[in-house]
Amino acid sequence: MIYLNGKFMPIEQACIPVLDRGFIFGDGVYEVIPAYSRKPFRLTKHLRRLQHSLDGIRLNNPHSDKEWCNLIEQVIARNDEEDQSLYLHITRGVAKRDHAFPQVPPTVMILSNPLLPPPTELLTSGVAAVTSTDNRWIRCDIKSISLLPNVLLRQLAVDAGAVETILIRDGYLTEGSASSIFVIKDQVLLAPPQSHLILPGVTYEVVLELAAENNITYKIQDITEKELRQADEILLTSSTKEIMAVTRLDDQLVGNGKPGAKFSELHKLYQHYKATSMRAGIAH
């Protein structure tokens, strides 16, 4: 069951006019929010980022946070799985094709997909990643539905039998095609600074909070391509993949080629945090 423009319906019955600006121009933004045991995880943070994306494309937020919470809860309740990934999608609406903004209501959609944790084999072996030049636009802080560069970049990983493409812009690590990336060197967790060149990852923020609370030394700093390639460990994070270890980069082993100590520690802390915040019903 999905939500589309004020109504709940089976996905098969949902239709969007061909002149929707999401279809014509990729003119819209989105969010992906995990829900565990039917409770949205870090909902407030996701809604804040949604507001940032909407502001970035000059589109009014069609709903208050309270209304979003309510709609999301209803979509969760109308779907079977206990763990779901909610996809929020807002476009500038339906209008005759013209680049200039139309004065029309936005298209608002919420989808639910089953949320499956990464398979245990991938957590124990780690995953392969490839690198590529980050050729996206320079407002990567906006979670835009115009994802063609991300799609093309991610396919490079798939073509190479890898899980993610890690992006380098002007000699520095930015992020993955659909994830945030951390590097560990000499026991220090390194995170690229937030800027217009990367998406402010909600999972990225959780990881840094967990590091701060658990005496894991971390530094937010620019990370060179060389530092990425000489990393002891590389971590990939996202709302759907949680935390995974990258153990091969462009066919070179990362560290000793096995998920490292910092991965194990942060993965455990993340699972514990998830379980406790769900039990407490915290949706911050």
The one among 179, 184, 236, 254 contacting ligand PDD by CB under 6 A: 179
Which residue, chain included where needed, has tokens 């520095």?
A: 172
Stretch that binds ligand PDD, among 56-64, 123-131, 173-181, 182-190 (CB under 6 A): 173-181
Residues 14-43: x where in contact with ligand PDD by CB under 6 A, - otherwise, as a string: ------------------x-----------
Q: Kindly name the residue from 143, 241, 262, 274 that is annotated as catalytic.
A: 143
Q: CA-to-CA distance for 99 and 137, rounded, in angstroms? A: 18
The one among 53, 165, 239, 247 contacting ligand PDD by CB under 6 A: 239
Give whichever of 112 and 239 is closer to ligand PDD, judged by the CB atom.
Answer: 239
Give whichever of 2 and 32 is closer to ligand PDD, judged by the CB atom.
Answer: 32
Give whichever of 137 and 221 is closer to ligand PDD, judged by the CB atom.
Answer: 137
Q: Does 47 bind ligand PDD (CB under 6 A)?
A: no
Smallest gap, in angstroms, from Cβ of residue 266 to ligand PDD?
13
The one among 91, 112, 238, 247 contacting ligand PDD by CB under 6 A: 238
Q: Does 178 bind ligand PDD (CB under 6 A)?
A: yes
The one among 2, 86, 189, 202 contacting ligand PDD by CB under 6 A: 202
Residue 45 catalytic? no
Q: CA-to-CA distance for 120 and 166, rounded, in angstroms? A: 22
Q: Does 79 bind ligand PDD (CB under 6 A)?
A: no
Q: Does 180 bind ligand PDD (CB under 6 A)?
A: yes
The one among 175, 233, 262, 273 contacting ligand PDD by CB under 6 A: 175
So which residues are the catalytic ones? 143
Instruction: Enumerate binding residues for ligand PDD (CB under 6 A).
Output: 32, 175, 178-180, 199, 201-204, 237-240
